[in-house]
Structures are given as structure tokens and as C-alpha cells.
Structure 1
């Protein structure tokens, strides 16, 4: 019996089950789309391995021996386990089960991702998501090094080396204390802000780089009083009067009822930014990651 594990294959067991269920080799062969002689040969191989008959052949069909009944019981269990394995694995290949490593910039996380990931979780409850926050340049670096399955960042220089899909638009606004002279304006040009004192994110953020570039185009430099690591801290600095700040619109609106600030949209064309999903290729994404990309990008 030591050879059973190495020599008894699933195809032989499946054909044996069909013969037992049909009580006839010819009907079992027809059901399994195989020649009757091939079925008979498989049954004979099982009997040779066991050393005992599993069926008795008659002119009009077969009967299952006591040994055959034992083999049948275990064959059904084995085939059932393999089918259960297949069904469970299909959840991974369909994206219904697995883990996804995602790296995103702060704007995407604060403005859009919580609701989107919650909606995704309702459709794919068995997909785990590991989310890391980074500035847009760092998002590209991590995706490039495959430290994450995919990323979400602003459409900055460098995204062209990846597959990039549009995610959301990010509208910038200026956040000022409620008593500021610009608080009554309907919209503001960036050029009108250059005499103001700013609070800003750290230099490596895509937003800080963008503002510095736009100021340089106007032959100006921003007067920055303090730099912070988060948009939350940025808004609080404006609240206490340390300066004004340029932030994503939906971030600013989060604080209108809790902080003494006013948000006014920037009218400059560059103030509307595109957030993109970036990855190497669809072929390199797991089924779960591909499902999440499709969900976020509304594909």
C-alpha cells in the first residue's frame, strides 16, 4: 500500500467514482468523454495497486465490491477536498481574497481614499489592505522599487515611467484666518499671495515643490514662517495666525466648522491637479491589487 500516495492519481479516482455512480463503464466513459477501454484500464490500475478487486463486471454493468465501497468513500472525500481547494484558490485569482500593499500621498488619503476603501471592503471583505502615507516623489520611488503593489500620487515628473490611470482631480485653495483681507474674496490668484507669510509642508512634498516652482516663474520666493509634516498641522497653524497656506480644497473644507479659517479657491489653471494610480504593469499585479485598481479607477 506504500505506492498509493505516489501512483494513485486523481483522474483514476474521478473515473472510478463515475463508474460507481453510473453502475456501467460505458455510461461512465460517455459522461467523462473518454473511451470505455481507457476507463477499464484505469480501474485495472487501481485494482493492481490495491491488490484487490474494486468492482465486479457483468454483462449489463458492474457492482461495487466491499473494497470498492471503501475506495469510493475516500475518493469522494479526496475529490471534494480538491474541489474545495480550487474554489478557495479561485477567490485569490478573482481578487476576492488576498493582501494589497498601497502607498499614497496625503491628499489622496485625506480627501478620497477612506470612502473608496470602505466601499471596496464591502465588495471584497476578505482583501486586506496595507496603506502607507508618503509624499508623491516617495510614492514613485516605492512603486519603482516594488515596495508597494501600486501607488496614488499627483501627476508629477516621473509618472511617465509607469502605467498611470486617472484617479481623482485635486483642486487647490488658499486657507486664511477668518479676519484676513482675502477672506471675503470669491477666488484668488496665486500672484496675489506672494506678499503673504506662508506655513507650508516640508520641501519634499509635491505641493511644496509646485508652489516654489510657480513662485519662481513669477520671479518671487515664498516667505515661509514654518514647515510642518501634515495637512492637519498646516490648517491649525493658519488657525492660530502663523500664516496662510495652500491646501487641497476638500482638506480645507474639513476644518471650516472647527477652526477659525476660510478657504478660497485658487483661479490659476495649475491649481487643478490630477491624482493618478501608478504601477509597473497589469501582469505584475496580483488579482487583489488589480481588483482594487479597477475599483478605484472605476474601470
Structure 2
């Protein structure tokens, strides 16, 4: 029986099962859209391989032998396993199952991604998602090195080398400590802040680059007294009275009830920023990643 694995094919097993279920070779052939002689030849090949009869032909049909009953039991298991495999693989092809790796900037992770990913997981619970935080510049570098399926970042220089879809829009606001002279203002222009002491982010984030560029247009440099590595630390430094900071408005709102700070929306046009879903080529994404990209773009 050592040759069974190499010589017993799935088509022969399927036809044998049909014969056993129909108890008639002609009816089995009709069900499987094949000539009765071809079915008989497949059954004969199985019997030659095993060395024992699996059915007995009678005038009104067939009778399955004890050897045939054993073969039928295992054949049903094999065919059921193959059908289950096909169904599971089709989920990968349709995007309903698989693994996706995302690189995203902090603004998207803090403000939007948790709720969007939760909504996606309710529809596709068998998709595993790995999210890695990078600033927008690093997001593009990782994608260039094929280190992730797609990324989410601000619309920055370098995007022209990638394909992208709109994701969300966020707005920048000034965060000030309790008792600051600007308390009570409903909005403010960036140009009026050049004399303030700022708390800034240490890494070359999209926000850091943007603020430096806009200050340069005004012929000034931001007076950054303290640099930190996260938006959480940034907000806490403002709470402690160590300076003011520019933050995504929805990020700042998370701290209004826990820290003594106030948010004042920036009135400048550039303070409204676009977040994009970015990738090398849409056609190169896996079905699962493609499904998630479309979901984020459509629900953003």
C-alpha cells in the first residue's frame, strides 16, 4: 500500500464516492458529467492499486464491499478536508482572512485608527493586523523598503513616489497651560506665537517639519526650550507650565479633562492637514490588505 499516496488521485476518489452514494455507475456518471465507461475505468484502477474489489456489480446497481466501505470512509474524510481547504483559501483570496502589517504616524493612531480598526474587525474577525508607529518620514522609508503592506501618514514631501488615497483630515491647535495670557482666545494665528517658548517633538515628524517651515516663512525660528519623544509627554510638559505646543486638535482633546490645559484652534489654512493611506502599488497588495485599504479610505 506504499504507492497509495502517489497513485490514488482525488478525481478517482470523488468518482468512487459518487458511485457508492448513487449505488449505480450510470447515475454516478450522470451526476459527475462523465461517461460511465470512464467511471468504470477509474474504479478498476483503484481495485488494481489496492489489489481487492471495492464494489460488486449487480444487475440493478452495485454493492460496496467491506474493503470499499473502508475506502469510502477515508475518501469522505479526504474530500471533506480538501473542500475545507478550498473554503479557507478562498477567504484569503477574498480578503476575509490573512495578515496585514501597517506603519502609521502617531496622529492617525491616536485619533482615528482604533475605532476604524475595531469596525473592520467586526466585519473581518479572522484578519490579523500588526500596527507599527513611525513618524510620517519613516512611514515612507519603511514602505520604500517593503517593510509593510501600507502606511498612514500626513501628506508630506516624498508622497509623489507612492500611490495614495485620502484617509482623514485633522486640525492643529495651540495647547496652553492654565493661566496663560492667551486663555480665552477662540482662535489664533501662528504668526502671533513667535515669541512663545515651545515644547516640541524630538524626532523629525511631519508636525516638526511643518512648524519649522512655516516659522521660516515668517522669518523666525521657533523658540523650542524642551523636546520630547511623544505627544503624551508634550501635553504633560505644557500642563507643567514649561511652554506651549502645537498638537492635533483631537489629540489635545484627550487631555482636557485630565490636565490643566486649553486648546486654541490655529486659524492658518495650513493647520488643516490631510492624512493619507499610502502604498507602493494598489495592484501589488494582497487581497486582505486591499480590503483593509478600501475600508479605511471609504470610511475616513
Unaligned runs of 5+ in 2: none
Say whether 1:229 aligns with 2:208. no
Residue pair 1:238, 1:261 contacting (<8 A) in 2 also: yes
Residue pair 1:203, 1:209 contacting (<8 A) in 2 also: no
Q: Secondary structure at the match of 2:182?
A: helix
Judge which range, 229-238 or 158-167, deviates more. Answer: 158-167
- 2: CA distance, partners of 1:106 / 1:274: 14
Judge which range, 220-229 or 34-43, deviates more. Answer: 34-43
The equivalences for 1:21-100 within 5 A come to 21-100=21-100
Residue pair 2:203, 2:229 contacting (<8 A) in 1 also: no
- 2: CA distance, partners of 1:100 / 1:203: 26
Residue pair 1:101, 1:130 contacting (<8 A) in 2 also: yes
Residue pair 1:188, 1:266 contacting (<8 A) in 2 also: yes
State the match for 2:190 in structure 1: 190
- 1: CA distance, partners of 2:30 / 2:161: 55
Q: Secondary structure at the match of 2:102?
A: strand
Residue pair 1:55, 1:65 contacting (<8 A) in 2 also: yes
Query: Offset at 1:174?
Result: 0.7
State the match for 2:160 in structure 1: 160
Query: Offset at 1:143?
Result: 1.1
Say whether 1:4 aligns with 2:7. no
Q: Deviations over 1:14-63 (max 9, x none)?
A: 01100111111121111111222221221111111112222222343222
Query: Offset at 1:191?
Result: 0.9
Normalised TM-score (structure 1):
0.95
Unaligned runs of 5+ in 1: none
- 2: CA distance, partners of 1:183 / 1:111: 25
- 1: CA distance, partners of 2:263 / 2:245: 10
- 2: CA distance, partners of 1:188 / 1:35: 83
Query: Offset at 1:291?
Result: 2.6
Q: Secondary structure at the match of 2:168?
A: strand
Normalised TM-score (structure 2):
0.94
State the match for 1:250 in structure 2: 250
Judge which range, 92-101 or 172-181, deviates more. Answer: 92-101
Q: When the two structures are aligned, how many residues end up with a matched partner?
A: 299
State the match for 1:122 in structure 2: 122
- 1: CA distance, partners of 2:231 / 2:22: 70
